[in-house]
C-alpha cells in the first residue's frame, strides 16, 4: 500500500492528465507508471521534481476524432487516432459505473491486444489498478481518471500478435526454461512494430494437463504460474538484459501488470490473463533477446547487502523511468521470494543491473 497522506500521487496524476499517452508519434508516456512506483516505495518527496524534468518531454493530449459508442467501438479498436475518443469514453463509463465492473467488461476485450503499444498500455493499467486497490478511499477522482487514460490508451493501441505455431514446452515445465526456449526472430532490425509480425511460434507454457486438471483450481494455479513467470523474467534480465536494456524490461513488467490486476478481476478471467501475459513476455523476449547470454554479474558486496528500500532509492536517484519500473517489479519479486523462504538477492540484483545497463537521464531529475 502507498503511504501517501500528502496526496502527492493524485497531484502528480492531475499534472500528467493534460498530456497524451504518447510522444513523437508513438513513444509512450511513462510518467503515470513511474510516479505511482515512486510514491509506493517511499519516494513521494521526489515526485514533483521528477515530473518537472519529465513533463517537458511530453505532448498535449491530441484532439478527439469521433466519439466512441456501443455501436462503433469495434471499428475504433486499435486505431491510434481515437486515443482521445477512447479516453473520453472510459471517463464517461467510469463516472457511471463502478470501476471494477468497467474493468471486468473490457479486460477480456482488450487482452488479445496486450502487445499493442509495446505492452505499455497494459503496464499502465496495472499501475492504475494497484493504486485503486489501496485502502481506504483509494478510488479518488485522479486515480479513476488514470484508469480511463490507461484503458483508452490500450484500446487505441490494441494490436493482436500474428497467428503463432506451438512448440513443445520445456520438460521441466518451468517458466525460466520456457523463456529460454523462446526462439529469437532472425531479423531484429526496426522497432517493435516491425519486429512483432516476424514471430512464428512459442513454446507451449504452461502445460495444460497440469494447470487445468481441476477446474476449481484454475484461478489459483494461474496466479501461481503468473507469479513464477514474473520472477523468471525478472531474473532473466540479469543475464540477458544487455541485449536491449530498455525494451527487455517489459518482458517482466508486462506480466507483472497482469498479476497486479488479478485481484480486481473475476476469477474466471485469471487463466486467460496468464495466457496473454505469457504471450507478451515471450514476444518481447523473442524480438529483443540476445543470442548469447552474458556472464551473470556479481554485485559489489555493498550492493548485494542492500535492502529493498536502498535498491529502490538507487533507482529513483538514477531517474530513468524504465529503471524505476523494473526495480518496482523486482521489489515485488524479492518480497515474494522472502515470504516463501527463497533468496530475494537475485531480484534485487536485477534491479541494480537495470540501473547499470540503462543510461541515466542527461538532466538529473
Candidates 328, 327, 30, 278; CA nearest to 175 is 278
Confidence label for 209 from pLDDT (cuts 50, 70 and 90): very low
* 97/90 Cα distance (integer angstroms): 10
Greater model confidence, 300 or 55: 55
Contact between 248 and 285 under an 8 Å Cβ cutoff? The reply is: yes
| CA angle 136–137–142, rounded 5-degree value | 140
| SS3 call for 18 | coil
Confidence label for 342 from pLDDT (cuts 50, 70 and 90): very high
The 3-state DSSP composition of the chain as helix, strand, coil percent (nearest 5) reads 65, 5, 30
Contact between 262 and 274 under an 8 Å Cβ cutoff? The reply is: no
- Predicted local confidence at residue 362, as pLDDT: 74
Q: State pLDDT tens for residues 245-299.
A: 999 999 999 999 999 999 999 999 999 999 999 999 999 999 999 988 877 665 5
Q: The C-alpha cell of 262 is what?
A: 488479478
| Kind plus residue range of the DSSP H or E element containing 23 | strand 22-23
Counted residue by residue, the chain has a size of 365
Residue 335, pLDDT above cutoff 90: yes
User: Which residue has cell 536485477?
Assistant: 350
Contacts by 49-53, CB closer than 8 A, 24 or more apart: 49/365, 50/316, 50/319, 50/365, 51/12, 51/15, 51/16, 52/365, 53/319, 53/361, 53/363, 53/364, 53/365
Q: State pLDDT tens for residues 216-232.
A: 458 999 999 999 999 99
* Mean residue pLDDT across the chain: 92
| SS3 call for 213 | coil
Confidence label for 6 from pLDDT (cuts 50, 70 and 90): low
- Predicted local confidence at residue 302, as pLDDT: 47
Q: The C-alpha cell of 104 is what?
A: 471486468
Q: State pLDDT tens for residues 133-191.
A: 987 778 999 999 999 999 999 999 999 999 999 999 999 999 999 999 999 999 999 99
- Predicted local confidence at residue 293, as pLDDT: 83
Candidates 314, 186, 349, 175; CA nearest to 256 is 175
Greater model confidence, 301 or 45: 45
Q: State pLDDT tens for residues 299-329.
A: 544 456 789 999 999 999 999 999 999 999 9
Q: State pLDDT tens for residues 188-202.
A: 999 999 999 999 999
Residues 6+ apart with CB under 8 A from 282: 178, 179, 182, 202, 203, 205
Mean pLDDT for 62-78 is: 96
In the chain, where the domains are located: 8-157, 165-288, 301-357
Q: What is the DSSP string of 85-119?
A: HHHHHHHHHHHHS-HHHHHHHHHHHHGGGTTGGGG
User: Which residue has cell 490507461?
Assistant: 150
Greater model confidence, 137 or 117: 117
- Predicted local confidence at residue 297, as pLDDT: 62
Confidence label for 26 from pLDDT (cuts 50, 70 and 90): confident
- Predicted local confidence at residue 292, as pLDDT: 85
- Predicted local confidence at residue 42, as pLDDT: 95
Contact between 230 and 273 under an 8 Å Cβ cutoff? The reply is: no
Window from 74-83, 101-110, 353-362 with minimum mean pLDDT: 353-362
End-to-end CA distance of the chain: 25
Amino acid at each position: 500500500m502507498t503511504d501517501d497522506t500528502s496526496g502527492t500521487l493524485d497531484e502528480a496524476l492531475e499534472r500528467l492528465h493534460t498530456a497524451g499517452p504518447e510522444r513523437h508519434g508513438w513513444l509512450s508516456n511513462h510518467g503515470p507508471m513511474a510516479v505511482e512506483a515512486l510514491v509506493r516505495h517511499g519516494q513521494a518527496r521526489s515526485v514533483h521534481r521528477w515530473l518537472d524534468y519529465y513533463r517537458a518531454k511530453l505532448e498535449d493530449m491530441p484532439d478527439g476524432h469521433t466519439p466512441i459508442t456501443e455501436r462503433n467501438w469495434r471499428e475504433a479498436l486499435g486505431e491510434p487516432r481515437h486515443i482521445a475518443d477512447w479516453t473520453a469514453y472510459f471517463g464517461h463509463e467510469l463516472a457511471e459505473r463502478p470501476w471494477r465492473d468497467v474493468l471486468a467488461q473490457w479486460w477480456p476485450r482488450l487482452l488479445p491486444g496486450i502487445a499493442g503499444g509495446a505492452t505499455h498500455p497494459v503496464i499502465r493499467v496495472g499501475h492504475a489498478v494497484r493504486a485503486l486497490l489501496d485502502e481506504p478511499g483509494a478510488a479518488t477522482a485522479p486515480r479513476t481518471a488514470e484508469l480511463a487514460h490507461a484503458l483508452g490508451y490500450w484500446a487505441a493501441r490494441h494490436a493482436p500478435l500474428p497467428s503463432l505455431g506451438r512448440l513443445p514446452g520445456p520438460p521441466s515445465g518451468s517458466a525460466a526454461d520456457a523463456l529460454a526456449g523462446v526462439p529469437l526472430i532472425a531479423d531484429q532490425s526496426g522497432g517493435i512494430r516491425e519486429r512483432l509480425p516476424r514471430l512464428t511460434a512459442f513454446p507451449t507454457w504452461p502445460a495444460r494437463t497440469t494447470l487445468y486438471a481441476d477446474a476449481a483450481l484454475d484461478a489459483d494455479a494461474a496466479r501461481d504460474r503468473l507469479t513464477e513467470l514474473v520472477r523468471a523474467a525478472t531474473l532473466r534480465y540479469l543475464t540477458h538484459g544487455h541485449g536491449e536494456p530498455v525494451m527487455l524490461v517489459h518482458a517482466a513488467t508486462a506480466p507483472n501488470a497482469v498479476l497486479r490486476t488479478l485481484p480486481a478481476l473475476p476469477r474466471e478471467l485469471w487463466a486467460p490473463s496468464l495466457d496473454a501475459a505469457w504471450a507478451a513476455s515471450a514476444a518481447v523476449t523473442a524480438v529483443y533477446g540476445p543470442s548469447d547470454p552474458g556472464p551473470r554479474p556479481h554485485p559489489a558486496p555493498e550492493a548485494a547487502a542492500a535492502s529493498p528500500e536502498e535498491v529502490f532509492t538507487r533507482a529513483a536517484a538514477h531517474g530513468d523511468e524504465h529503471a524505476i519500473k523494473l526495480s518496482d517489479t523486482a521489489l515485488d519479486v524479492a518480497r515474494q521470494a522472502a515470504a516463501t523462504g527463497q533468496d530475494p538477492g537475485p531480484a534485487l540484483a536485477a534491479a541494480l543491473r537495470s540501473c547499470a545497463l540503462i543510461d541515466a537521464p542527461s538532466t538529473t531529475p
